Structure 1
Amino acid sequence: MVPSADEPNALTHIGARGEARMVDVSDKEATSRVAIAQGQVRMAASTLAAIMAGDAKKGDVIGAARIAGIMAAKKTADLIPLCHPLSLSKVLVDIAPDDALPGLTVRAEARCVGPTGVEMEALTAVSVACLTIYDMAKAIDRGMSIEEVRLIEKRGGKSGEWRAAQGKRQGEKRR
């Protein structure tokens, strides 16, 4: 039997009969919400150099990826089942070269005032920006990999603030 939503540790998106359902947030207080997510596209050093020089055949890789990430955040509820449509007040996508990878680090910040968080919007922005980088540079390097897409920080709502542990992924045990 599936636990009811009133029970501790209950699955909030599963009804009493096991059916998928959207959580009712109508009684939750509207608060300022912020989420920051990050991911990386690892590639050959020569691919990074070509992107930074503007030599990708499809055009401005970083500019296109930034716009794609912003657009994706605004469409999260259309892409992810059971996500609430939100009135976003800010979406910022920053893409920076990282010679140590080598590759590009994508970071997104999403903000709203509402009854539910914006973590999925920030994660969607990062994911789609990374996919766009891959798409625009795949003619140069099909061996690129999208890595470490994760939530870095969230603020607001009943659960307050949360930050990922530095130097290791959340839940990962130190060796």
Structure 2
Amino acid sequence: MVNYPHMNEQGRAKMVDVSEKAMTRRTAEAKAVLRMKPETLDAIRKGTVGKGDVLAVAQVAGIMAAKKTSELIPMCHPIPLRGADIAFSFFEEDRLEVVARVKTDNVTGVEMEALTAASIAALTVYDMCKAHDKGIMIEETCLLKKTGGKSGDYLREEVKG
């Protein structure tokens, strides 16, 4: 049988042993883009959505999600985060971009924490705005960049330059 780090001797999934890896500074940045009716985006911008301040609630939800990633994704290691932040950008007349940035000093990376944070922040925007616009689409969820670790740095192609 081939030895894969994510499989045990029976060929079943396991959490990877990271006990021999070096402790390094690791960062990750991920995004999710929401597309919605222009009037929905305008209501978010003006703070007139009936459930309250959409971006404030989504920001807290994203940060909480980053901290809870190992409870949601079965093979993720629990990681003490050194920082987590969510930023929002309005672009075009119908799009909202959510960017999550996460940092740790640890033996494993925070890509999943950043992706989870961006995803949950986007889902929170949907939840708070669904009475206004059930057609909101969450799209383009992806890792933008990561630093640190054995595999080195990563920068998504379309953001280079």
Smaller-chain TM-score range? over 0.9
Please say if residues 144 and 159 of structure 2, whose CA atoms lie closer than 8 Å, have aligned partners that are also in contact: no
Alignment of 1:126-137 (within 5 A): 126-137=118-129
Q: Which has the higher helix share?
A: 2
Query: C-alpha offsets along residues 53-96 of structure 1, whole Å, 9 cap, x if unaligned?
Result: 11111100000000000000000000100100001000010012
Q: Is residue 115 from structure 1 mapped to residue 116 from structure 2 by the alignment?
A: no
Structure 1 segments of 4+ aligned residues over 3 angstroms from their partners? none
Alignment of 1:1-175 (within 5 A): 1=1, 3-5=2-4, 12-100=5-93, 102-166=94-158
CA distance in 1: counterparts of 2:92 and 2:48, whole angstroms: 17
SS at match of 1:166: helix
RCO comparison, higher one (Cα < 8 Å, 6+): 2
Q: Over aligned residues, Cα RMSD in angstroms?
A: 1.3
The offset of 1:98, in angstroms, is 1.4
Percent pairwise identity: 48
CA distance in 2: counterparts of 1:121 and 1:167, whole angstroms: 20
Query: C-alpha offsets along residues 23-58 of structure 1, whole Å, 9 cap, x if unaligned?
Result: 000000000000000111110001001111111111
TM-score, structure 1 as length reference? 0.88
Runs (5+) with no aligned partner, structure 2: none
CA distance in 2: counterparts of 1:58 and 1:74, whole angstroms: 24
Runs (5+) with no aligned partner, structure 1: 6-11, 169-175
> Which amino acid is the alignment partner of residue 24 of structure 1?
D
> Which amino acid is the alignment partner of residue 57 of structure 2?
A
SS at match of 1:88: coil
CA distance in 2: counterparts of 1:136 and 1:83, whole angstroms: 28
